[in-house]
Structure formats: structure tokens, C-alpha cells
Amino acid sequence: MSAEDRLDRARAKLNRVDPQQAAALLADGALVVDIRPHANRLAEGEIPGSVVVERIVLEWRLDPTGTHRLPGLTANTPVVLVCNEGYASSLAAADALELGLHRATDLTGGFRAWQAAGLPVVPGGTPAAP
């Protein structure tokens, strides 16, 4: 299976959200998870209130039944994954669904779409969740 096929398969499972929908979800208490590399976050900024999770440990932090999950995370927590442009986040969101996060999705267009929509951005470089 090609990377494009895998992306298409992942996105078929998701109800992806645009920047305004993601902002509304965040305002309503959704968990926004930024999986971008530190260099991108440092250069471009971050979404206020987002949680940084390194991709290498993402499944452990998003497993709602795991001992290494993010504090307060449950299977019913709405989760929006964010990458640079909305590709890696689609794959990660599909993985989150498979872990049992029934309300997981990703941000169409990623952080750059959020920024282009004029939504708030804070300086980047926040350490990843332990």
C-alpha cells in the first residue's frame, strides 16, 4: 500500500475539522494535540492551549486505557491532532481512533491553515508532555 493509499484510508475514517471548528472544539474543552517537530513549533508558534506530544510516544499518551495516557484522557475526550499541513495528523488521528478515542480527528490543513485563518498563535517551543 502506498503512502497516499494509507492517507486516503485514514481520512475515510475521520470527520476532519477546519480551523474554525477546531477553535470551537478547543473552546469547548477538546484536547488539541500538536505533533509537529520542535523546530517547526519554535519557528512558527503554537495553538494556545494545545498539548505537545512527540510522535514517537503518541500512541502511549493517547491510549485511553493505558498507564502512560495524558492526564484526564478518556475514550470520550474530543481530540484534534495537528501537524504542519494536515497529513501526518490524519494518520495519527486514525491511529487514535483505533486506540479507542472515538472522538479523535485532525485539523484540515494543519497548523498552517489555523495560522492562515487568523486564529491565535503563541510563541513556540513548549516542551513535549512527559
Tens digit of each residue's pLDDT (9 = 90 or more) over 74-124 = 999 999 999 999 999 999 999 999 999 999 999 999 999 999 999 999 999
Show the 3-state SS of 29-54: CCEEEECCCHHHHHHHCECCCCEECC
| Residue 130, pLDDT score | 87
Q: What is the mean pLDDT of residues 42-62?
A: 97
- Answer whether residue 44 shows pLDDT above 90: yes
Percent of the chain whose predicted confidence (pLDDT) is above 90: 99
What is the reported pLDDT for 28? 97
Q: What is the pTM of this model?
A: 0.96
